[in-house]
Amino acid sequence: MNILRKIIKNKLEITVLAIVIVLALLAHGYNMFHFPPYFDDEGTYMSQAWSILNLGKLAPYTYWYDHAPLGSLLIAVWIKITGGFFTFGNSIDSGRVFMLLIQLLNVALIYKIATKLSNKIAAFISIILFSFSPLSITLHRLIFLDNIMVFWLLLSLYTLLVKPLKISMVALSAFSLGLAALTKESAFFFIPPLFITLLAQSSHKNRHFILVKWVAIFGGVIIFYCLYALLKGELLPDSILNSSKHVSLIETFMWQLSRKGGFFLDKSSEFYYTFMQSWLNTDPILVIGGIGASLMNLIIGIKRKSFFIVSIFSLSYFIYLIRGGIVNDQYLIPVLPLVSLNMGLLISEVVSMFKGRLSILRYASLFLIVIILIVFYSKNLGLYSLNYTKNQIETLLWLKSNAQEKISVGDGYGLVDMWYGNTDNIYEYKGYQHYWKVEDDPQLREELLLNDWKNIDYLIITPRMQRDFQINTFPMLKTFLSHADLVKTINVEGNQEIKNKNVLISLSGPINIYKKQNISKILLDSAWAYYKSAFIKSYGQSVDPSREYKTTSEGQSYAMLKAVFQNDKPTFDGIWSWTKDHLRYRNQDKLISWLWGEKDGKEQLIDSNNATDADEDIALSLILASNKWNNPKYLDEAKVLLNDIWENAVVRVNGKYYILPAVNGFDKPDGYVLNLSYFSPASYRVFSTVDKIHPWGKLADDSYSTLEELSKIKNNKTDLPPNWIFVTNDGELISAKKYMGKDSDNYGFDAFRTLWRVSLDYKWFGEKKAEKYLKDIDPFFSSQIKDNKKIYSMYSLDGKPIVNYTSLSTNVGPLSVFAVSNSKKAEELYNSSIYKKFNFEQGYWGDKNNYFDQNWAWFGTALYTNSLNLPQGILDLYKKPLLLKRINSNEY
Amino acid sequence: MFNKILIAFLIIITGYISTAVLVEAGILSFIVLLFSLIVLVQSLFTLIWMLYAWENPDEMNLHKSPKEFLSPKYKFSLLVPARYEEKVIADTLKAISKLNYPKEMYEAKILIREDDAGTIKNAQMALRGSEKENIEIITFNSYPINKPHSLNIGLKNAKNEIVGIFDAEDELHRDILQVINTTLIRENADVIQSGVQLMNYKTRWFSMLSVLEYFFWFKSGLLFFSKVGKTTPLGGNTVFIKTSWLKMVGGWDEGMLTEDADMGIRLSRYGAKTKVVYDELHTTREESPVDIKNFIRQRTRWDQGFLQILKKGDWAKLPTVRQRVFAFYILLSPFPQSILFAIAPILVMIAITQKLPVPITLFTFLPLYLFIIQILVQIVASYEFTKAYKLKFPILTPFKIFITFFPYQLLLLYSSIRSLYRILRSQYSWEKTSHENIHRAESKNLNLYEYST
* ipTM of the complex model: 0.86
How much is the pLDDT for B68?
Answer: 87
Q: How does residue A211 score in pLDDT terms, banded at 50, 70 and 90?
A: very high
How much is the pLDDT for B451?
Answer: 25
* Test the A interface: residue of B378, B380, B383, B397 with most A CBs within 10 Å: B380
Are B444 and B322 spatial neighbours (Cβ–Cβ below 8 Å)? Answer: no
pLDDT (tens digit per residue) in B392-436: 998 999 999 999 998 998 899 899 889 888 888 877 666 655 555
**Between A208, A223, A224, which is nearest B380 by CB?**
A208
Q: Mean pLDDT across the stretch A200-205?
A: 89
Determine the residue of chain B that is closest to A231 in CA distance.
B358
Q: Do A217 and B366 touch (CB under 8 A)?
A: no
Are A563 and A557 spatial neighbours (Cβ–Cβ below 8 Å)? Answer: no
pLDDT (tens digit per residue) in A825-845: 999 999 999 999 999 889 999
How much is the pLDDT for A250?
Answer: 82
> In angstroms, what separates the C-alpha of A201 from chain B's closest C-alpha?
11
Q: Do B372 and A166 touch (CB under 8 A)?
A: no
Alpha helices per DSSP H over A789-832: 808-821, 823-829
How much is the pLDDT for A677?
Answer: 94
pTM value?
0.82
Q: Do A213 and B51 touch (CB under 8 A)?
A: yes
Q: Spell out which residues of chain B touch residue A166, defining contact as CB-CB under 8 Å.
A: 55-57
Q: Do B369 and A220 touch (CB under 8 A)?
A: yes
Element of type H or E holding A515: strand A511-516
Q: Do A205 and B376 touch (CB under 8 A)?
A: no
* Test the A interface: residue of B24, B63, B373 with most A CBs within 10 Å: B373
Lowest mean pLDDT among A95-109, A263-277, B419-433: B419-433
Element of type H or E holding A672: strand A671-675
Alpha helices per DSSP H over A352-457: 359-377, 382-385, 390-402, 415-419, 435-440, 442-447
Q: Spell out which residues of chain A touch residue B379, defining contact as CB-CB under 8 Å.
A: 212
Q: Mean pLDDT across the stretch A736-741?
A: 91
* Test the B interface: residue of A213, A226, A230, A235 with most B CBs within 10 Å: A213
pLDDT (tens digit per residue) in A762-808: 999 999 999 999 999 999 999 999 999 999 999 999 999 999 999 99
How much is the pLDDT for A241?
Answer: 59
| Strand order from edge to edge, sheet including A551-552 | A551-552, A593-599, A602-610
For residue A886, pLDDT beyond 70: no
How much is the pLDDT for A891?
Answer: 39
Are B121 and B86 spatial neighbours (Cβ–Cβ below 8 Å)? Answer: yes
Q: Spell out which residues of chain B touch residue A216, defining contact as CB-CB under 8 Å.
A: 372-373, 376
Distances (CA, A) of B23 to A681, B10, B26, B362, B385: 73, 20, 6, 19, 49
* Test the A interface: residue of B16, B40, B356, B358 with most A CBs within 10 Å: B358
Q: Mean pLDDT across the stretch A403-418?
A: 91
Q: Do A167 and B372 touch (CB under 8 A)?
A: no
Are A413 and A40 spatial neighbours (Cβ–Cβ below 8 Å)? Answer: yes
Cα separation of A751 and A757, whole Å? Answer: 10
Q: Do B56 and A166 touch (CB under 8 A)?
A: yes
Q: Spell out which residues of chain A touch residue B54, defining contact as CB-CB under 8 Å.
A: 167, 205-206, 209
pLDDT (tens digit per residue) in A855-875: 999 999 999 999 999 999 899
> In angstroms, what separates the C-alpha of B361 from chain A's closest C-alpha?
8
Cα separation of A696 and A682, whole Å? Answer: 10
Cα separation of B121 and B245, whole Å? Answer: 34
Q: Mean pLDDT across the stretch A231-256?
A: 74
> In angstroms, what separates the C-alpha of B54 from chain A's closest C-alpha?
6
Cα separation of A210 and A217, whole Å? Answer: 10
> CA neighbours within 13 Å on the CB side: how many for A591?
29
pLDDT (tens digit per residue) in A624-644: 999 999 999 999 999 999 999
Cα separation of B173 and B96, whole Å? Answer: 9
- DSSP string covering A579-600, please? HHHHH---SS--PPEEEEEEET
Q: Mean pLDDT across the stretch A384-396?
A: 90
Q: Mean pLDDT across the stretch A520-527?
A: 91
- Residues of chain B falling short of pLDDT 70: 129-130, 428-453
Q: How does residue A266 score in pLDDT terms, banded at 50, 70 and 90?
A: confident
Are B327 and B240 spatial neighbours (Cβ–Cβ below 8 Å)? Answer: no
Q: Spell out which residues of chain B touch residue A167, defining contact as CB-CB under 8 Å.
A: 51, 54-55
Q: Mean pLDDT across the stretch A735-753?
A: 92
Q: Do B373 and A224 touch (CB under 8 A)?
A: no
> In angstroms, what separates the C-alpha of A378 from chain B's closest C-alpha?
42
**Residue B174 contacts by C-beta under 8 Å, 6 or more apart in sequence?**
B95, B98, B99, B100, B451, B452
How much is the pLDDT for A46?
Answer: 95
Q: How does residue A884 score in pLDDT terms, banded at 50, 70 and 90?
A: very low
For residue A608, pLDDT beyond 70: yes
Q: Do A231 and B56 touch (CB under 8 A)?
A: no
In B, what residues contact A, Cβ < 8 A? 24, 48, 51, 54-58, 60, 352, 358, 361-362, 365-366, 369, 372-373, 376-377, 379-381, 383-384
Cα separation of A642 and A590, whole Å? Answer: 10
How much is the pLDDT for B429?
Answer: 66
**Between A167, A209, A224, which is nearest B362 by CB?**
A224
pLDDT (tens digit per residue) in A441-473: 888 988 899 888 889 999 999 988 988 898 888
Determine the residue of chain B that is closest to A56 in CA distance.
B24
Q: Spell out which residues of chain B touch residue A227, defining contact as CB-CB under 8 Å.
A: 362, 365
Q: Mean pLDDT across the stretch A194-210?
A: 91
Peptide bond into A36 cis (omega under 30): yes
Q: Spell out which residues of chain A touch residue B1, defining contact as CB-CB under 8 Å.
A: none
What letter represents residue A433's amino acid? Answer: Q
